[in-house]
């Protein structure tokens, strides 16, 4: 079975579940949820055993669809995060249904499948049209998911904000694509790279197009100055959706960015130095504007939203560092590795938040007070998640940051490096403020927290992943050194 068939099948399964729920309303949410999880898991298994080369794809799709190591990595990534989000939705269902109109969660189980198909499709995109279609598939589904808890004013507000800004950024993106097409006469990344390496191409037009396109993508990955929607949307959206946005949507944005930048920064590109400088400035700003305001947040969910902005900043800085002569880390590889480590720690953090919410607690730092006494295991796991997000050595988060910093130091981008270091230092402050609260004991005679065995198992597995990747990143070695095919072809 080809990878493309799996993707299409996943989208069809999503549609089927949607119809099933509409035609047979009495079907229980457990059945729906478990079907969705089983379907995605099956897709993951099939994907692992499917042939991983472009030639095995149906012929009609090959001009638009590529399967290099980056695409394979992101497809697996999309499947894993979707399974986790579906499971988290099921786990948080008793709490979430209080905010939905008819006490149901139907689309919460079918839309993530469609999002997943979109993300997988996007990872393989070879041209801007495919990117656009896949991106819209993802974004439109997210409009619904963010506003899903319709009885909650926060969720509605988040939905409206996300819709308006998302639609606006889509417009900007299309505008950028149009300019690029105007400058280069093509939509495919290969063609764009070739045209940009040709000095005869109009530099102003191409640069304007690329800059506008990056603005559009900047919205999607929450790069400064287009990051202001993130705190409100992340805070308002149901927790599983927030985790999905924070990990899945961000990864999807970055795979597109990696592809686009491989073309824009191709060797001899006429707009290379400008785009590089833009990336450094935007990356530094994003890291700082995410990290510094996070220090003053009292809601942990909002804090995680700001922190996710600063992580986007590090990722942008990683993209600005092209290949190094001194070590085998490609910028796309560092980004992929960073995202792979970002997945377990972020999902674990949101999982903890979701479980606390399910136990009737809020999301403020003061709700974390005495967590170590109420549930030592949960406190330990959340500590691990936050420590890794902060970038504590021996956790996965440290390696990702170290690679980014090494790349910056290697290229001598000292200004950007200092911004990143300041942001990381601020990160230590706000994460450890939360950790400290968990172990504070005064004034806590509240009942113990409980959570289910599967929740323990999933959280434990995520924590294990954080620890193992922190000291033994070898399983991801191929990801780290992997270069996207487009770049290799072009640089010849």
Partner 1 sequence: MSVLEIIIALPLLAALAIWLGAPARAASLGATSINLILVLYTAVQYWGKTGLAFTYSRPILENPSLSFAVGADGISIILALLTTLVMLAAIWQIHDRPAIFYVSSLLIGGGALGAFLTTDIFFIYAFHELALIPTFLMIALHGRAEPAYRKAVAWKATIYLGVGSLVLLAGLVWLVLEFSGGSKLTFDLEALRSQAKLNPLPDSKQAQIFFVLLLGFGSLVSLFPFHSWAAPAYATAPTPVAMLHSGVLKKFGLYGLIRIALPLLPHGVHVEWVQNALLLMLLGNILVMGLVTIHAKRLDDTLANSSVMHMGYIFLGIAAGTDIALKGAVILMFAHGISIALLFGLLGRMRNQLGTLEYNKLGGLANHAPAFTVLFAFGTFASIGLPGLTNFAGEVLIFLGNFTEFKAGGLTHLQWTVILALWGVVMSAVYMLRAYRSIFHGSPATGLFMIDPALSQRVPFIMLAATLLVTGCCPWLLLNLMKSAL
- Which spans of this chain sit near partner 1 (rule: CB under 8 A)? 325-329, 376, 380, 387, 392-394, 398, 402, 405-406, 409-410, 421, 424-425, 428-429, 432, 435-436, 439-442, 471-474, 477, 480
- Rounded Cα–Cα distance for residues 1 and 13 (Å): 16
Write down the least CB distance from residue 428 to partner 1, Å: 5
The CB density around residue 160, as the number of other CB atoms within 10 Å, is: 16
Q: Which is nearer to partner 1, 123 or 339 (CB)?
A: 339
Write down the least CB distance from residue 355 to partner 1, Å: 19
Q: Which is nearer to partner 1, 24 or 326 (CB)?
A: 326
**Encoding tokens for residue 122?**
């996007």
Q: Which is nearer to partner 1, 225 or 376 (CB)?
A: 376
Q: Which is nearer to partner 1, 312 or 387 (CB)?
A: 387
Q: Which is nearer to partner 1, 203 or 411 (CB)?
A: 411
Write down the least CB distance from residue 61 to partner 1, Å: 35
- Rounded Cα–Cα distance for residues 361 and 376 (Å): 16
Q: Which is nearer to partner 1, 260 or 463 (CB)?
A: 463
Write down the least CB distance from residue 331 to partner 1, Å: 15
Q: Which is nearer to partner 1, 173 or 321 (CB)?
A: 321
- Rounded Cα–Cα distance for residues 189 and 128 (Å): 7
Write down the least CB distance from residue 416 to partner 1, Å: 14
Q: Which is nearer to partner 1, 146 or 435 (CB)?
A: 435
Q: Which residues contact 457 (CB under 8 A, 6 or more apart)?
A: none
Write down the least CB distance from residue 152 to partner 1, Å: 34
Write down the least CB distance from residue 104 to partner 1, Å: 39
Write down the least CB distance from residue 302 to partner 1, Å: 22
Q: Which is nearer to partner 1, 273 or 477 (CB)?
A: 477
Q: Which is nearer to partner 1, 20 or 406 (CB)?
A: 406
Write down the least CB distance from residue 425 to partner 1, Å: 6
SS3 assignment for the chain: CCHHHHHHHHHHHHHHHHHHHHHCCCCCHHHHHHHHHHHHHHHHHHHHHCCCCHHHCCHHHCCCECCCHHHHHHHHHHHHHHHHHHHHHHHHHHHHHHHCCCCCCHHHHHHHHHHHHHHHHHHCECEHHHHHHHHHHHHHHHHHHHCCCCCCHHHHHHHHHHHHHHHHHHHHHHHHHHHHHHHHCCCEHHHHHHHHHCCCCCHHHHHHHHHHHHHHHHHHHCCCCCCCHHHHHHHHCCHHHHHHHHHHHHHHHHHHHHHHHHHHCCCCCCCHHHHHHHHHHHHHHHHHHHHHHHCCCCEHHHHHHHHHHHHHHHHHHHHHCCCCCCCCCCHHHHHHHHHHHHHHHHHHHHHHHHHHHHCCCCCEHHHHCCHHHHCHHHHHHHHHHHHHHHCCCCCHHHHHHHHHHHHHHHHCCHHHHHHHHHHHHHHHHHHHHHHHHHHCCCCCCCCCCCCCHHHHHHHHHHHHHHHHHHHCCHHHHHHHHCCCHHHHHHHC
Q: Which is nearer to partner 1, 121 or 337 (CB)?
A: 337
CA geometry: angle at 30 spanning 26 and 35, to 5°? 100
Write down the least CB distance from residue 288 to partner 1, Å: 15
Could you tell me which of 149, 170, 169 has the C-alpha nearest to residue 236? Answer: 149
Measured over all CA atoms, what is the biggest interatomic distance in the chain, rounded to whole angstroms? 73
Q: Which is nearer to partner 1, 402 or 446 (CB)?
A: 402
Write down the least CB distance from residue 287 to partner 1, Å: 14
**Encoding tokens for residue 38?**
């089983």
Write down the least CB distance from residue 405 to partner 1, Å: 7
């Amino acid at each position: 079975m080809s990878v493309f068939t799996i993707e299409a099948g996943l989208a069809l399964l999503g549609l089927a579940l949607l119809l099933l729920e509409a035609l047979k309303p009495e079907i229980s949410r457990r059945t729906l949820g478990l079907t969705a999880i089983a379907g995605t898991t099956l897709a993951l298994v099939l994907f692992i055993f499917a042939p991983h080369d472009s030639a095995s794809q149906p012929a009609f799709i090959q001009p638009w669809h590529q399967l290099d190591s980056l695409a394979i990595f992101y497809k697996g990534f999309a499947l894993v995060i979707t399974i986790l989000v579906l499971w988290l939705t099921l786990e948080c269902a008793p709490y979430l249904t209080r905010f939905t109109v008819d006490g149901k969660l139907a689309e919460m189980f079918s839309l993530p499948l469609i999002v997943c198909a979109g993300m997988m499709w996007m990872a393989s995109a070879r041209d801007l049209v495919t990117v656009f279609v896949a991106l819209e598939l993802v974004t439109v589904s997210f409009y619904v998911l963010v506003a899903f808890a319709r009885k909650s004013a926060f969720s509605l507000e988040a939905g409206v904000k996300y819709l308006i800004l998302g639609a606006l950024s889509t417009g900007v993106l299309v505008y950028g694509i149009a300019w690029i097409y105007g400058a280069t006469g093509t939509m495919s990344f290969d063609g764009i790279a070739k045209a940009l390496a040709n000095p005869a191409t109009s530099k102003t037009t191409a640069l304007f197009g690329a800059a506008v396109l990056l603005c559009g993508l900047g919205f999607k990955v929450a790069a400064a100055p287009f990051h202001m929607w993130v705190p409100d949307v992340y805070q308002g959206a149901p927790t599983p959706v927030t985790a999905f946005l924070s990990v899945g949507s961000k990864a999807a944005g970055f795979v597109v960015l990696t592809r686009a930048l491989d073309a824009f920064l191709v060797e001899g590109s006429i707009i290379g130095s400008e785009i590089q400088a833009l990336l450094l400035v935007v990356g530094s700003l994003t890291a700082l504007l995410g990290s510094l305001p996070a220090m003053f947040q009292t809601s942990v969910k909002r804090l995680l939203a700001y922190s996710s902005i600063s992580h986007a900043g590090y990722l942008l800085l990683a993209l600005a560092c092209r290949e190094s002569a001194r070590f085998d880390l490609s910028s796309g590889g560092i980004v992929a590795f960073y995202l792979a480590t970002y997945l377990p720690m972020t999902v674990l953090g949101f999982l903890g938040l979701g479980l606390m919410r399910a136990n009737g607690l809020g999301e403020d730092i003061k709700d974390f007070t005495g967590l170590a006494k109420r549930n030592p295991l949960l406190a330990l796991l959340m500590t691990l998640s936050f420590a890794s997000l902060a970038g504590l050595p021996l956790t996965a988060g440290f390696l990702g940051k170290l690679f980014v910093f090494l790349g910056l130091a290697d290229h001598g981008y000292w200004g950007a490096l200092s911004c990143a270091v300041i942001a990381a230092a601020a990160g230590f402050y706000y994460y450890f403020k939360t950790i400290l609260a968990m172990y504070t004991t005064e004034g806590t005679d509240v009942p113990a927290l409980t959570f289910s065995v599967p929740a323990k198992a999933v959280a434990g597995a995520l924590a294990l992943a954080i620890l193992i990747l922190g000291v033994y990143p070898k399983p991801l070695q191929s990801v780290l050194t992997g270069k996207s095919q487009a770049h290799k072809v072009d640089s010849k």
